[in-house]
Copies of this chain bind each other. A is one copy, B any other.
Amino acid sequence: MTANTPAPAAAESEQVRSDGRKPDELRPVTVTRHWSAHAEGSALIEFGGTKVLCTASVESSVPRWLKGRGTGWVTAEYAMLPRATNTRSGRESVKGKIGGRTHEISRLIGRSLRTVVDTSALGEIMITLDCDVLQADGGTRTAAITGAYVALVDAVEWARQEGLVRKSATVLTDSVSAVSVGILKDGTPVLDLPYAEDSTAETDMNVVVTGSGDFVEVQGTAEGVAFTRKELNTLLDLAVDGAEQLAVKQAEVLAE
């Protein structure tokens, strides 16, 4: 972990974050595998106060545009319970339409997982990852991706047991996890931002990384002030280290 070189004691005391973490420290991560009695794969993942229920549902039919090609599909839907946040927000089902943010994150999750799936090895089945945020405290999309991967592994295994997927097929080509990084108002680059930091950060970046350490998605956004190439590099260092720790956690949980 290259970015982890401990700062000298004096400097460190200045960098302490509102929740006492070091800049390059993740919040406590817990993954409750097999949370759901019904889904083919599932995980309740927690990044500190953020709790996301990820279920993987296997259906033996693919979207119309894929029919007859002998290849499968993986898709995702992200949503938040109305009171997952500090202030209640109206239900999208009641409003009758899905907001832009919801759409964006659903697409991000689906794309991220598909990068590590060989859909042709999957056969004509569809796996839907539902990521429902039960409680939000920043980093809901990164927790969702990280948890959804665990649910996906179990769903693929289930499909294999059921004979829907060939015994020997390599469906998953790698693992995938995600973290947020950002630059706080005072200029400090930090890893895994809770809501309090995220809502005031100058720059916000979500990075999706494979188990081998390559990038699947890099989405950096300046919230007020544009960021320099140097800042971007520091953020990427933090992200790669964080994702590495999450990959270890995923492996541990899946080894149980």
CB distance from A207 to the nearest CB of B (A): 10
A130 touches B229 (CB 8 A): no
Interface flag for A212 (CB, 8 Å): yes
Interface residues of A in 104-160 (CB under 8 A from B): 104, 106-107, 111, 115, 128, 130, 132, 134-135, 137
Q: How far is the CA of A224 from the CA of B112 in the complex (A)?
A: 10
Q: How far is the CA of A217 from the CA of B82 in the complex (A)?
A: 27
The stretch among A16-24, A83-91, A184-192 that forms the contact with chain B is A83-91
Interface flag for A168 (CB, 8 Å): no
Partner of A100, one of B88, B96, B106, B232: B106
- CB contacts (< 8 Å) of A224 on chain B: these are 115
- CB contacts (< 8 Å) of A134 on chain B: these are 53, 134
B59 touches A88 (CB 8 A): yes
CB distance from A162 to the nearest CB of B (A): 15
- CB contacts (< 8 Å) of A29 on chain B: these are none
Residue of B nearest to A207 (CB): B220
CB distance from A127 to the nearest CB of B (A): 10
CB distance from A60 to the nearest CB of B (A): 12
| Chain A residues near B (Cβ < 8 Å) | 36-39, 42, 49, 53, 55, 57, 59, 77, 79, 81-86, 88, 91-104, 106-107, 111, 115, 128, 130, 132, 134-135, 137, 174, 205, 209-210, 212, 214-222, 224-229, 232, 236, 240
